[in-house]
A and B are shown apart, each in its own frame.
Chain A
Amino acid sequence: MLLVLATAGCNNRAPQFAPNRMAMIEAQLVDEHQQQITQELTELFGTPDDPRVPEGVDLDVELLQMAAGQAGYEKDEYGHEYQQRGLYRQHCASCHGITGDGRGPAAAVLEPYPRDFRPGVFKWKSTRLASKPTDDDLLGVLQRGVSGTAMPSFGLLAPEQLDALVEYVRYLAIRGQVERELIATVADELDFDPAAGTTDEPFVPAEDEDDQAMVDDVVASIVQSWQSPTEQIVEPDPQTMPADERTDAQMAESIEAGRQLFLSPRAKCTDCHGADARSIVVKDYDDWNQAVFDFRQRSATLAAQIARDRENLPGLDSSLAKSARERLTSESRRLKQRGQVSEELLAPQLARPRELADGVFRGGDRSIDLFRRIHQGVAGTPMPGQGSPRPGVEGALSEQEIWQLVDYVRSFLHNSD
C-alpha cells in the first residue's frame, strides 16, 4: 500500500516523452543510438511542456501550446492575459498517455485499450485504408466519442479547444512516426555491433550532414503521408447511392438483400461477426496488439534459444565454447532488455469483432460512415475492405451491394438505446 502511495503521490516530475523502446530493441539498436535518436526527437518536437514543430511540418504551434503542458492557465509572454494550457493532459493523457502511446494510467483496466497514436494509424476515418484521417475525421471522433468503449464525447469543449486537441493528436502521431522511421533508418544505415553493444558511427545530425539529410528525408516522407488527406476521402458513386426517400417495401427489399450478402461466403462477414450478427468469433489481434504479441513471442523464442545454447555448452571444445559463451552473454543481455520492455507493455488483447446486432457502431452510425467502413475496412484491424482498394481496381463487392449491407447493418440500430 505504501509502495502504491509512493508511486501515485511522488511521481511529479515534469513529464517527458517515453522513447519507443519496443521498436528500438526490435531493431537491436545500441544504447548510444537509442539516446541519440531520443535527443534528436527532442530537438525536432520539443517536450510535452514545450512542443516544437520541425520545419516543413504543417502544425499550428499556438494550438499545440493550448493542448500541451500542465492543465490550467498561465500568463502570456507579456505577463498579462491568462491563456489556457494542458488540454491534452486534462482530457486525454490519463488513457492515451503523455507520449500518445496508449499507455496512460487507466489503460490497463480498459478494453479495448486506448489508441496508440504513434503508428499514425486511425480507425474511424473517411479516407482510404492506408491514408491518414482528415482533421474532420479526428474532430468527429472527439465530438461523437467511440460508443461501446471508454472514449467519451468531448462535445462540451469549445471549437477552439477541440481544434487544439486534433492538432496535438496529429503532432503525437507525426512525432511517433518520425521516431519509428528514424529507428529503422539508423538501424539500416549506420554501422553498429549489437552483440558488443557498440558503434563507431554515432548518429549526430547537428554535426554530420549525412545524418541531418537522413532526418530531413524521414520528416519529409512522414509529412507527405499527412498531406491532403481530403483528396483520399472515399466518395460513393452517386449512381449507386440509394435514394433519400425510399418506401418501406424498397427498404425491406434492400435489407433482405443485405442480409443474404451478410450470410454469403462472398462477403465472409459471418466468419467474424457470426451468422446472427452477435455470436462473434474472437481470434485475431489488431496491429497494435499483434506487435506486442510478436515481440513477446520473439522474446520467448530467444529465451528457448538461450536455454538450448546453455545445455549444449558443456559438450563444446574449448575454442567453440569461448565464442558460444560470448554469444550467450550477448543474447542474455538482449533477453534482459526485452524483458524490461515487456514489463512496460500491456498484455495483448484479441480484437473483438463488433456485435452488430447490438446496434452500437463505434465509428459513427450514419449510412455514409458504415459504407466507408465496409468499403475500405477498418485500418489496423482484421476487418477487411469489400470495396475497391484503389481507383481502377474492382472490389469484392459492388457499391450497390455495400449499400445493401449498410441497410442490413443499420436495421439493428433500433436494438440500442
Chain B
Amino acid sequence: MSKSKRHRRNAQRSPNAEPASARWTRWVAWLLCAITFPLLWLGGLVTTTKSGMAVPDWPGTYGYNLFLYPWTTWLFGPWDLFVEHGHRLLASLSGLVTIVLLVMLYKYESRPWMKTVGVVALVAVIAQGVLGGLRVVLDERLLAMVHGSVGPLFFVLTVAMVVWTSRSWLTARKVDQQGLARLAPLAAATGILVYVQMVVGAMLRHMPVTVSPYSFESVVKVHLVLATVVLMLTLVVARMCVASAAPTGVRCTGWSIIAVVLLQISLGVATWISKYGVPVWARGMYSPSSQSVLADGWWQAHIVTAHQAVGSALLASLVVATMLAWRYAPASIVNTETESFSKGVATG
C-alpha cells in the first residue's frame, strides 16, 4: 500500500477505530470456532460410523507420529481410518490455534479475565484430547460418551470467545428494555436444558450393547419429552430476541435460534427414520419405500451426525443470546474504557 493511500485510510478512520491487534485476536477466535464446529461434526461421524477404534493406538497412529502417518494411507485407506485419523488431525489443529489465541490474549488483551478464559480454553482442549485418547487406549465406551459431551462445551467456549472479542461486545451500550433482563436467565436455562438433552442423545448413541431394551426405551422417552420442552422454550426465547429493542445482533440471534431448532427437530425425525424406519403409527403419512436404508450410507451417516452437530449449534445460539441479553440489559454495566485493548484504541 502506498504512503498516500495509508494516509488517506488513517485519516478516514474514526478516533475510536479498533486496533489491528484486536482484529487479529478476533479473527483467531473466529478461526478456532470455525475449526471446532467441523471437529464436532467429524467427532460425531466417528461415533456414527463406529470408527472410534479404527486406530487402536494413541497418541500415535499405528505406531507413527500423528503428523507423520502416511497421508496416502489416510486418504485412500479404509473409511473408518480416514474418519478417525482425520478427527485427530483436526483436533490437533484446534489445539494449536487455541495456543495461538492464548498467546495473542496474553500479548494484547487488557481484560485479565480474558487471559484466564484463554488458559481455560487451552486446558479444556488438552483435557478433551486426553479424554479422546483414553477412550481409545482403554477402549471404554463411557469415556467416548464423556468425550462426546465435553466437545460441545468447548465449542460453546470458542463461541463465547468470539463474542467477547467482538466489536459489538466491546462497544455495547445498555438498552432501556426490561425484557432483556428476563431474556438472559431464560436463555441460559434453555441452554442448560439443551445441553442436558445433548447428553441424553450421547447416551443413546453410546449405549452399550448389554443394556436392556427397557433402559434404552426409557432414555428414548426422556429424549422425546425433553425435545418437546426444549422446542417450546427455544421458541419463547427466540420470540423475545426477535421482539427486543436491542441491536440487530440480538434479533438475528433470535431468527437463527428459530431456524436451528426447526432444523434440529427435522433432523431428529430424520435420524429416527434413517436408523429405525418409519414407526408403524406414522406409516400412512409416508409413501412406502421398497428400498431399505443403507447402513452407514452417506445419508444415514450425515443425517445422524448432523443431528448431533446441530445440537451444538443450537446450544451456541442460546449462549450468544444469553451473553448479548446480559450485555444489553439495563442492569448491566458497560465500561468500554476498562475493557479496551491495552495497546490503546486510537494507536491501532
Contacts and interface: CB of A to CB of B under 8 A. Distances in A.
A105 B294 CA distance: 20
A19 interface: no
Interface stretch (A87-95, A127-135, A200-208, A312-320): A87-95
A90 B295 contact: no
Contact of B209 (A72, A98, A413): A98
A107 B56 CA distance: 30
Contacts of B213: 103-109, 346
Interface string A222-261: 0000000000000000000000000000000000000000
Nearest to A114: B213
Given A109-B220, A111-B280, A416 B287 contact: yes
A9 B145 contact: yes
Interface stretch (A50-58, A145-153, A325-333, A373-381): A145-153
Contacts of A12: 140-142, 208
Nearest to A357: B288
Interface in B205-239: 206-220, 222
Interface string A328-371: 00000000000000001010000010010011110001000000
A323 interface: no
Interface in B268-298: 275-277, 279-280, 287-297
A341 to B, nearest CB: 13
A7 B279 CA distance: 26
A149 B277 contact: yes
Given A11-B208, A12-B142, A98-B210, A147 B289 contact: yes
A154 B289 CA distance: 17
Interface in B99-143: 139-142
A417 interface: yes
What 3 pairs between A and B have smallest CB-CB spacing?
A145-B292, A72-B53, A108-B213
A393 interface: no
Contacts of A93: 209
Contacts of A413: 290
Interface residues of B, number: 45
A266 interface: no
B54 interface: yes
Contacts of B140: 12
A74 B56 contact: yes
A159 interface: no
B209 A104 contact: yes
Contacts of B56: 72-74, 82
A105 B290 contact: no
Contacts of A296: none
Q: Which of B56, B206, B277 gathers the greatest number of chain A CB atoms within 10 Å?
A: B277
Contacts, number: 144
Given A4-B219, A108-B216, A11 B53 contact: no
Given A108-B214, A109-B220, A150-B275, 6 more contacts: A70-B53, A94-B209, A105-B207, A107-B213, A109-B216, A145-B294
20 contacts: A8-B203, A8-B207, A9-B142, A15-B210, A73-B56, A89-B209, A98-B209, A104-B209, A108-B216, A109-B213, A145-B291, A146-B292, A149-B277, A150-B276, A152-B292, A152-B294, A153-B293, A352-B280, A360-B290, A361-B290
Interface string A113-151: 000000000000000000000000000000011111111
Contacts of B210: 11, 13, 15, 98
Interface string B283-315: 000011111111111001000000000000000
A4 B289 contact: no
A147 B208 contact: no
A344 B297 CA distance: 33
Interface of A: 1, 4-5, 7-13, 15, 70-74, 82, 89-91, 93-94, 97-98, 103-111, 144-156, 344, 346, 352, 355, 358-361, 365, 413, 415-417
Interface in B258-275: 275
B167 interface: no
Name the prevailing secondary structure of the B interface residues: loop
B217 A108 contact: yes
A156 B297 contact: yes
Given A73-B53, A73-B54, A156-B297, A147 B290 contact: yes
B50 interface: yes
B64 interface: no
Nearest to B204: A8
B62 interface: yes
A195 B216 CA distance: 36
A217 to B, nearest CB: 33
B301 to A, nearest CB: 10
B212 A359 contact: no
A147 B291 contact: yes
A359 B291 CA distance: 11
A359 B290 contact: yes
B295 A4 contact: no
Contacts of A89: 209
Given A15-B209, A109-B276, A4 B203 contact: yes
A251 B281 CA distance: 35
A147 B292 contact: yes
A220 B208 CA distance: 35
B292 A153 contact: yes
Nearest to A113: B213
Contacts of A94: 207, 209
B118 to A, nearest CB: 32
